Amino acid sequence: MPYMMAGYPDWESSSAVAEAYAESADLVELGVPFSDPLADGPTIHAAATAALAVGATLETALEICEEIGERVPVVFMVYANMVLAHGGADVFARRALAAGAAGAIVPDLPLEEAEGVRTAFDDAGLALVPLVAPTTPAERRARICAAARGFVYVVSTVGTTGERDELPAELAGLISATKEDAEVPVAVGFGIGTPGQAAEVGRVADGVIVGSRLVRAAGEAGSADAAAEAVGSFLRETRVALGS
């Protein structure tokens, strides 16, 4: 499940990356540019800032979703402010679904405040995907998993998104515990930046999410064609490592 930032580094490159993802991904995580992306580290934060600077908006993300949504499931990564500021959860859910989205991750929406959004998404047929972290207490993790739609997003490590040299030793235990609690698939993100790391996670999780590594590749490519080739090459290598 590769991540991309809508509109980064520009519309043409963003569209080309989306096309490359549609050819190689099982799901796509589509970031909506936002000025205060609290869960995101320097690479994705910078991508959001750059996308906003060239005029990217929620509409940009919806257009990208429309481009690929019929070929691969798309899950928005969107902050609560963006949901509430664009007509509220009902309107956002309907617009996302009309664009072809399958779900949305709202990382700054806590369990205690999620019921209204979840209901609106359920009514529209859009999955609200929750997150659990290494610091999530077991009882709370069970409640989050019970309310999960689509899949559970396991945050591999404490902190923000970004590439890391190695994965936490305790990650396998967290994945196993989450799978026991969840009735939906369990996918893991944050810190996965190489095909080898993806394969390591893939041995125990149902899904592997790669973000900053691919955003960096798109930003460094220099052209739309080069961006598509860079991310496509990484995804092909990762599929080989995963044995899929």
pLDDT tens digits, one per residue of 46-85: 999 999 999 999 999 999 999 999 999 999 999 999 999 9
Q: What are 122's two structure tokens?
A: 């359920």
Whole-angstrom Cα distance, residue 38 to residue 24? 29
Q: What is the pTM of this model?
A: 0.94
Report pLDDT for 167.
Answer: 73
User: Are 97 and 126 a contacting pair, CB within 8 Å?
Assistant: yes
For residue 184, the enclosing domain spans 3-242
Q: Which of 26, 36, 40, 170 is an active site residue?
A: 40
Domains identified in the chain, total number: 1
Is residue 181 annotated as part of the catalytic site, yes or no? no
3-state secondary structure of 207: strand
Q: Mean pLDDT over residues 141-167, rounded?
A: 81
Assigned token pair, 242: 């995963």
Could you read off the pLDDT of 12-47 as tens digits, one per residue? 999 999 999 999 999 999 999 999 878 777 899 999
**Per-residue pLDDT for 163 more than 60?**
no
Q: Decide if 10 is catalytic.
A: no
Report pLDDT for 161. Answer: 56
Among the listed residues 29, 63, 181, 200, the single catalytic one is 29
Residue-wise pLDDT tens digits, 170-200 = 899 999 999 999 999 999 998 898 999 999 9
- pLDDT in the model for residue 244: 74
Mean pLDDT across 113-140: 96
- Quote the CA–CA distance of 118 and 139 in Å, as a whole number: 20
Report the CATH number at residue 15: 3.20.20.70
